[in-house]
Amino acid sequence: MKNYLIATLIALFALGFTSCSKYEDGPFMSFSSPEKRIAGDYTVEAYYIDNELITLNEIGISQYRLVYNEDGTGTSYITVNDFTSESEFEWELDEKKENIRERVKGQNDQWSAWSEYKQVLRLTKTEFWFIDNNSQEITEFNLIEQ
């Protein structure tokens, strides 16, 4: 009886480790909170529209940099023709910490409405990927820490 109980506990423990991770392409287990893993200075490594890779140069952008702070604030830097535009934004995760949304501060210091939630696909210490399925064109951003 005791051996059966031990075998059952081992099987349940093993089953727990083979279950799906929270993020489709993310690590199975992390000791850092999602907010701490999101916090970082990223560049856009890949940008997809409807699963088609779009290079930043194709759309006239020489650099697209996003800085996410652990406190839910951030700054985006988009460089076009040696001119860099800087914008402040705020971000937050949903209750399950599986989706992220943002809002941007406009030129008159007014905050935009919150965007629809975007699904977090991958979240590691150096990579942050998310996809926006809320519009006619599905867009995916693959960010890599600088």
CATH code of the domain made up of 2-145: 2.40.128.540
In angstroms, the CA 141 to CA 137 distance is 13
Share of the chain above pLDDT 90, in %: 69
Q: What is the pLDDT of residues 103-132, one digit of tens each?
A: 999 988 999 999 999 999 999 989 999 999
Q: What is the pTM of this model?
A: 0.79
Query: What is the domain partition of the chain in residue ranges?
Result: 2-145
